[in-house]
A and B are shown apart, each in its own frame.
Chain A
């Protein structure tokens, strides 16, 4: 497939040049020309007023029997002996996909003695649970988990596999996709089914959150994607649902696990776990200096929330990168997000725009964060925050 400008039809209007997110359209002999930077995204196709830009399809040579693949799977990530919320969120979304495809929804549970969690996944919508257990799965390791998930896929041939876009999910998903040789779409924020084809439409932010791209995996199976936490709501558990548990013995020898987890060092205490927090108080460059983050921490504590930070605050060394919210940091979706002294670059907005309620404090009335906020206070954070703490404490007592 290529995208070309038909120079006989090109009227040299130049509309397509800025429409290309990759700067791949240049002038050549006074006509628009698409060079090798083209990623075939198709953004130029719609803007050409005279339809001089066209996509030319080439036949693909793929010999996968797509009919052999059926069912939507959700990989359930654990934290210790409980399931991460994102797995449940994906079961809720996976249920919709499975229903519209008229296929079954299954949960994949890997761990040491984790069968007790199976019922939870059924309550969230799974028809079946694939259970792989063994001491070698007590902690996540790329090698053991890749082997287990890839073998399950080869044995049972699902048509769709969803994983949470967490640290471990983003480690596992590409490794598995590489092993089974299929396509993977990272960090999705939207999922749908294309009516004509029954293919999953994976939608994700790209280009620093400036654009959204919808991606298909037409000829390879399974269609795989990682999905950001907190984009979809966790379904209300239905404890009356029943499902089937399929135990699959997949063993991994100790020598096959080439990385060994020695210890986990905690960073901060109540301040982390941003992905699962109901309330997040974040600070940015407008906090002025690192000591002022004490106010952010205090407010988070009063509200029982977690502490976030903008890239600017992390780059300045005021906060550990684990606190960073945004396109290259964490994606969060709390009930209330309070942005303090954060201007609201698009990269930041991409990480927190699925929050239910956004409250922003910024002294610049034109700051983009105020345009994205449900409630915006125009004012100096260093004046507003102490008063807010005082008034909140009054309310509490």
Chain B
């Protein structure tokens, strides 16, 4: 099986804090990490490879330092890594990003399965996966929490509001996975050593058969025009009592006054 995993290097948004004085982001000291859900995607790919053989290639579009994210995936056990990086790709929204990644995957010739994560924790759009599938004309299944492959037939479990959907489909296919699909393995020392010696394939705009008008900012239909900090909810009543019962009675009294119970 030829498996591609699309990954992204993101700032660790769980470590971002807001400066209460200026109401702006404190960005300093926030490390760049592999998007957490990407590790589930890599793990899913590695398990399929262990069962069916083949090759796992991780691919990312980003600045040169995104190489660190690829190395981390190589250390987990991925076979190859491709970095798609060029100033021409900068400012891309999801449509331009997916077009660029789809073109890069196509350049590799053959693929059976493309695995994306559920969403990146910086943008949270969850759009690039389905848009890659559309560019490549292959079926997609999103929010995948389980996958098994038998020859060309794929059986999938999908997390849905209604419960777990069980679907059947065929390769080639794109899936986006949720974290309940697996517990990602930690890179071993040996894996990390091996990964540090591996060559990462670098593709710039000149390596891809692309329509330049569809790249980067120029190829992006959407534009961010304003960034601001969200309005916070205001604090209401704080109940501090000596006993739990006194606190509960005070709360219920307040709720009754507000006609909420």
Contacts and interface: CB of A to CB of B under 8 A. Distances in A.
Interface of A: 1-2, 17-23, 35-43, 47, 58, 60-61, 79, 142-143, 146, 166-168, 170-171, 173-175, 177-179, 181-187, 201-202, 205-220, 258-267, 272-273, 275, 320-322, 327-328, 336, 345-347, 349-350, 353, 357-359, 365, 370-380, 383-384, 386-388, 391-392, 395
B93 interface: yes
A143 B248 contact: no
Given A142-B140, A391-B252, A183 B224 contact: no
Interface in B214-261: 217-218, 220-230, 232-233, 235-241, 244-245, 247-249, 251-252, 254-255, 258, 260-261
A178 B235 contact: no
B135 interface: yes
Interface stretch (B105-113, B118-126, B187-195): B118-126
Contacts of B162: 79, 264, 266
A18 B180 CA distance: 35
B209 interface: no
B91 A39 contact: yes
Contact of B251 (A210, A273, A377): A377
A354 B87 CA distance: 39
Given A36-B63, A174-B127, A175-B133, A212 B237 contact: no
Nearest to B223: A216
B87 to A, nearest CB: 6
Given A205-B124, A263-B166, 7 more contacts: A36-B63, A146-B134, A178-B134, A213-B224, A321-B178, A365-B238, A379-B240
A265 B167 CA distance: 11
B248 A167 contact: no
A391 B248 contact: yes
Interface of B: 11, 13-14, 16, 18-19, 24-28, 30, 32, 37, 63-64, 87, 90-91, 93-95, 98, 118-119, 121-131, 133-135, 139-143, 145, 157-170, 178-180, 213, 217-218, 220-230, 232-233, 235-241, 244-245, 247-249, 251-252, 254-255, 258, 260-261
19 contacts: A2-B217, A18-B28, A22-B11, A40-B217, A47-B24, A146-B134, A174-B125, A177-B131, A185-B222, A214-B227, A215-B223, A259-B168, A264-B165, A320-B180, A321-B145, A328-B124, A379-B240, A384-B244, A391-B245
B124 A175 contact: no
A264 B230 CA distance: 37
Which 7 residue pairs are nearest across A and B when measured between Cβ atoms? Answer: A183-B221, A208-B13, A178-B134, A374-B236, A183-B222, A220-B221, A174-B130
A380 B226 contact: no
B169 A262 contact: no
A9 B143 CA distance: 49
Contacts of A374: 236-237
B260 A260 contact: no
Contacts of A370: 235, 238
Contact of B248 (A187, A358, A377): A377
A195 to B, nearest CB: 14
A347 B12 CA distance: 12
B170 A258 contact: yes
A375 B170 contact: no
Nearest to A321: B180
A287 to B, nearest CB: 15
A375 B160 contact: no
A39 B220 CA distance: 12
Nearest to A372: B233
Given A207-B16, A372-B232, A35 B224 contact: no
B150 to A, nearest CB: 14
Nearest to B221: A183
